Amino acid sequence: MRIGVLKESAPRERRVALTPDAAARLIKQGSSVAVERGAGAGAHYPDAAYEAAGCTLVHSAEAESADLVVAVRRPTAERAARLREGAVLVALSAGDPGEALAALNGRRVTVLALERVPRITRAQSMDVLSSQATVAGYRAVILGAEALPRFLPMLTTAAGSITPAKALVLGAGVAGLQAIATARRLGAMVTGFDVRAAAAEQVESLGARFLAPEAVAGDAETKGGYAKELAEEQQQKVLEAVAGAIGQADLVIATAAIPNRPAPRLITSAMVESMKPGSVIVDVSAETGGNCELTRPGETVHHADVTILGPLDLPAGMPQHASQMFGRNVQTLLDHLAPKGALTVDLDDEITGAMCLAHEGTLRHRGNG
């Protein structure tokens, strides 16, 4: 199997879909890997590292002509039209307007969407959403700590004692739990909140306090473990719980999300105005509308002496380890697709079938296209 690794072209995107280490594993199993020149440069993986791993450095046309093409983000429609007819493409596709998918389908390219890896035990090592959410949760705390006008940890100095900052993390999915763990490591007093009852144990296992268990809905979790949209009465209870805690927080990390839906609004303007001067909100969900109604994606907003950050592409901002994790996810998936070096697309397989958006000229799962 010949694998092509594309160089990313999206703004702010610095990750690469396969690192030299992941590529070397695939080569050892019998595949050949053609890497577009400069593909890993943004993540600090130079061309020489790929050559040392056994990869072939090629121009874009050669990478596009591979049997199986991997990318972080789905290529543009123009580039999609250059992929080899009947090839397989593995990439993220969330947010794609659809033109690229149509172009790919027109060339009978099989499209496997990485964000659709099912949440089952044997697919955990392929789950790029979880690995990249880990990066996002970590970076959100680092960005928030940098924006704060105060220390996070308790300090005892000759100039007096400094009390620890209070951090509130909204949403205890992968990003939220990593944010809790990171804020705790940096010395903050942390409170975590989630609408899923199962999250209480996870939050407390990290040494944080779980906020308002009486506001948690026992049926607020999907079969896949994600939060689901709440009824109006339940949502009001959630807002009341958040409003009661946010005024004490120095740093708020908002990570709450609902798959394929706009981010739930958990922080109102009135809540922001109740916060302490100098407080900071980092809205990890900015790309899907934001948990705070004042968030502007990609911008920093100052309101009532509170700073609200709406960062985009958080994992791409820490590209080396984000790519390492992403590449290992992709390598594990390719092991699944070609266990003996021969590529097979089995739509009856619970992993491959769930990921497939297009196959042999037929569109599938249109809601995610």
Backbone angles phi, psi at 303, to 5 degrees: -140, 125
pLDDT for the residue 258: 86
Two domains, one topology: 2-116+319-358 and 135-317: yes
Question: Measured between alpha carbons, how far is 78 from 89 in angstroms, rounded to an integer?
Answer: 15
CA angle 138, 115, 55 (to 5 degrees): 85
Mean pLDDT (whole number) for 70-96: 92
Q: Are the CB atoms for 216 and 200 separated by under 8 Å?
A: yes
Q: Are the CB atoms for 112 and 133 separated by under 8 Å?
A: no
Q: Which has more pLDDT, 258 or 356?
A: 356
Question: Residue 225: is its pLDDT beyond 70?
Answer: no
Question: Measured between alpha carbons, how far is 237 from 242 in angstroms, rounded to an integer?
Answer: 9
**CATH architecture for residues 2-116+319-358:** 3-Layer(aba) Sandwich (3.40)
Mean pLDDT (whole number) for 216-220: 55
pLDDT for the residue 243: 94
Mean pLDDT (whole number) for 204-229: 68
Question: Measured between alpha carbons, how far is 279 from 325 in angstroms, rounded to an integer?
Answer: 32
* Residues 148-159 pLDDT 10s: 999 999 999 999
pLDDT for the residue 232: 75
Question: Measured between alpha carbons, how far is 247 from 244 in angstroms, rounded to an integer?
Answer: 7
pLDDT for the residue 253: 98
pLDDT for the residue 368: 45
Q: Are the CB atoms for 150 and 250 separated by under 8 Å?
A: yes
Q: How many CB atoms lie within 10 A of CB 170?
A: 31
Mean pLDDT (whole number) for 54-71: 97
- Residue 172 — pLDDT band, cuts 50, 70, 90? very high
Mean pLDDT (whole number) for 89-107: 88
The whole model's pTM is what?
A: 0.92
Maximal CA-CA distance, the chain: 72
Mean pLDDT (whole number) for 40-59: 98
Mean pLDDT (whole number) for 226-234: 64
- Residue 236 — pLDDT band, cuts 50, 70, 90? confident
pLDDT for the residue 369: 44
pLDDT for the residue 70: 98
Q: Which has more pLDDT, 140 or 195?
A: 140
Question: Residue 5: is its pLDDT beyond 60?
Answer: yes
Mean pLDDT (whole number) for 317-341: 95
Beta strands in the chain (DSSP E): 2-5, 32-36, 56-58, 68-73, 88-92, 110-113, 155-157, 160-162, 166-170, 189-193, 209-210, 251-254, 280-283, 300-303, 306-309, 356-359, 362-363
pLDDT for the residue 113: 96
Mean pLDDT (whole number) for 294-317: 98
Q: Are the CB atoms for 255 and 263 separated by under 8 Å?
A: no
- Residue 10 — pLDDT band, cuts 50, 70, 90? very high
pLDDT for the residue 217: 55
pLDDT for the residue 212: 65
Mean pLDDT of the chain: 93
Question: Residue 321: is its pLDDT beyond 70?
Answer: yes
pLDDT for the residue 141: 98
Give buried/exposed letters for 253-266 (b at 16+ CB in 10 A, else e).
bbbbbbeeeebbbb
What are the boundaries of each domain within the chain? 2-116+319-358, 135-317
* Among the four given CATH numbers 3.40.50.300, 1.10.760.10, 3.30.1130.10, 3.40.50.720, the one describing domain 135-317: 3.40.50.720
Which residues are marked as active site? 119, 124, 127, 130, 226
Percent of the chain exceeding pLDDT 90 equals: 85
Question: Nearest-CA neighbor of 297 among 71, 11, 99, 43?
Answer: 11
